[in-house]
Amino acid sequence: MGLRLFFLLCVLASFFAGWVVGTIPSPEKAFWAGIASLGIIVLVGIFAYRKTSKQILSFLSRPQMTHFLSWATDLLDPLYEGTVRLYRDREEASRKLKEAMSRFSAVMDHMEEGVVVTDLKGKILLVNRAFFRFFKVEGDVRGESFGLLARKTGINDLIEDVLQNHRSVQKEVTFSETTPARTWSLVGTTARGSGETDVFGIFLLFDLTDIRQLERIRKDFVANVSHEIRTPLTSIRGFAEALHDGGINDPKTAREFSGIILSHAERLGNIVSDLLHLSELETGKAVMRYGSVSLSRQIAHIRDVYADHARKKGIRFTVQLPEETLTYETDEGKMDLVLGNLVDNALKYTPEGGEVFFGGWKEGDAIVFEVRDSGVGIPRTEVDRIFERFYRVDRARSREMGGTGLGLSIVRHILEILQGTVRVTSSPGQGSTFLVRVPSREPAPSGIPAGSK
């Protein structure tokens, strides 16, 4: 009965809509016809929804369906909860994996050693940041041949040996194409992954340049200090034995020999004193006493100390004082030692008739000193080594002129503490120029701007 009534209403509504539209002027007929049709459709939809929903609810209300829905809920709830838990576990595992990979990448990129992982064909699978510093390459190198990239380093045979014979190998090579030459140690081995065929090569690159240089300096130091101490000791012993064997009975001989013994004893004392200076500077035990220093007075003091020595050698010693009154904050005693060593060396290695210039001035926030001579000069290949302990360009000439061979090493260490620099330009036969630059204010501790408290 309800369905028949519904259709009867629809027919009456259609006729009513047609009559209404017929009474409306022609331009508005289309619009109102659409409205009438839409109303009919809405009525049909409402009736159909109510009818269908009642049927569905009636079906679901049956006892059999109630039991079925209860059973389905009991079955699906654990499945749903398990799915959610699995999803969350996967998300957590993914997060932990990303964190582990991030830590691994951070460790790899902060290693000083170069790391290379390849397959058994030598194709690169993984490198760290240090690798690019070792091989001076850029861009993505994954998939490229490690042996091809390393062809100029002399380690290709090691790479092949590791990958072909599956054994651990170590080799040290000196790569002379860089300036200065670098010494590398390459360690290679193979590792097995999860599968039988999952084998890859691992190579570690160590830069041994600084270590080998320190070893050379240590060996040179031991050899040099032994020689520098043995030489005066041998002379002292020889002349002491001569005096003991009767030379002391001859006043002239005794005076001459005792003078030689005294001279060598003073040299030994100077060596010990300079070694103690170096030890304090290198271990950070040197006490720095900063204060305001007059630049003119300091330069004049160095001039007065060495003027007589220059005159006796027949060297023209020119000193330039600053035109204005300048002061700077430094350790006056340590700077006197720096400037004195440089002027003393200039006078030692300048022949008679030569010239030595010494002056100082302010340049921005720095005080600059220049010591220039017309002496024998220094070969270009030796310039970087003259600040090493006991290093001498010409050992025979240096021994004749005296000195300990430690002066320039002391200069370098003092300037490092003062946060200053020294630059050398020299050519054999053309003389040498030393430019020293130090802050005009007391250097602040590391990380604290000068002048701040």
pLDDT, residue 27, reads: 53
Give residue 449's pLDDT: 37
Cis amide leading into 180 (omega within 30): yes
Which residue, among 343, 352, 357, has the nearest Cα to 314 in the 3D structure? Answer: 352
Rounded Cα gap, residues 3 and 219, in angstroms: 113
CATH superfamily of 111-207: PAS domain (3.30.450.20)
Q: Are 95 and 88 in contact (CB under 8 A)?
A: no
Residue 434 is predicted with a pLDDT of: 94
- Judge whether 160 and 143 are in contact, CB under 8 Å: no
Distance CA 292, CA 298 (A): 11
User: CB–CB of 207/112 below 8 Å?
Assistant: yes
* Placement of tokens 């005159």 in the chain: 311
How far apart CA 86 and CA 83 sit, in angstroms, is 5
Are the C-beta atoms of 240 and 227 separated by less than 8 Å?
Answer: no
**Strand, coil or helix: 104:** helix
CB proximity list for 178: less than 8 A, separation 6 or greater: none
C-alpha distances (whole Å) from 247 to each of 135, 197, 236, 259, 264 are 68, 87, 14, 13, 18
374 close to 431: Cβ distance less than 8 angstroms = yes
The hierarchical CATH code for the domain 288-439 is 3.30.565.10
CA 344, CA 328: separation in Å to the nearest integer? 23
Rg of the Cα trace of the chain? 46
Are 355 and 316 spatial neighbours (Cβ–Cβ below 8 Å)? yes
Encode the chain (453 residues) as per-residue pLDDT tens digits: 445 555 555 555 555 555 555 555 555 555 555 565 566 655 655 665 565 666 665 655 666 656 665 666 666 677 667 777 888 888 888 888 888 888 877 887 788 888 888 888 889 888 888 888 777 778 888 888 888 877 777 778 888 888 888 888 888 888 766 666 788 888 888 888 766 667 888 888 888 888 888 887 777 777 767 767 777 788 888 888 888 888 788 888 888 888 888 887 887 887 777 777 777 777 777 788 889 999 999 999 999 999 998 999 999 999 998 877 888 999 998 899 899 999 998 998 898 999 999 999 998 889 999 999 998 888 887 787 788 777 666 555 555 555 567 788 888 989 998 999 999 998 888 889 999 999 988 776 543 333 333
Q: Where are the domains of the chain?
A: 2-61, 111-207, 212-282, 288-439
What pLDDT was estimated at residue 292? 92
434 by DSSP, 3-state: which?
Answer: strand
Distance from chain centroid for Cα 113: 12
> Parallel, antiparallel, or unpaired: how do β-strands 431-439 and 124-127 relate?
unpaired
Alpha-carbon span 396 to 392, nearest angstrom: 9
Amino acid 448: pLDDT: 36
Give the integer Cα–Cα distance in Å for 116 and 107.
14
Tokens of 207: 């830069």
Cβ neighbors of 436 (< 8 A, separation 6 or more) are 338, 339, 342, 368, 369, 370, 371, 415, 420, 421, 422
Pick one of 2.60.120.260, 1.10.287.70, 1.10.287.130, 3.40.50.300 as the CATH number of 212-282. 1.10.287.130
Residue 46, token pair as written in the block: 């409402």
Length of the chain: 453
Amino acid at residue number 108: M
CB atoms within 10 A of CB 304: 10
Phi, psi of 356 (to 5 degrees): -130, 130
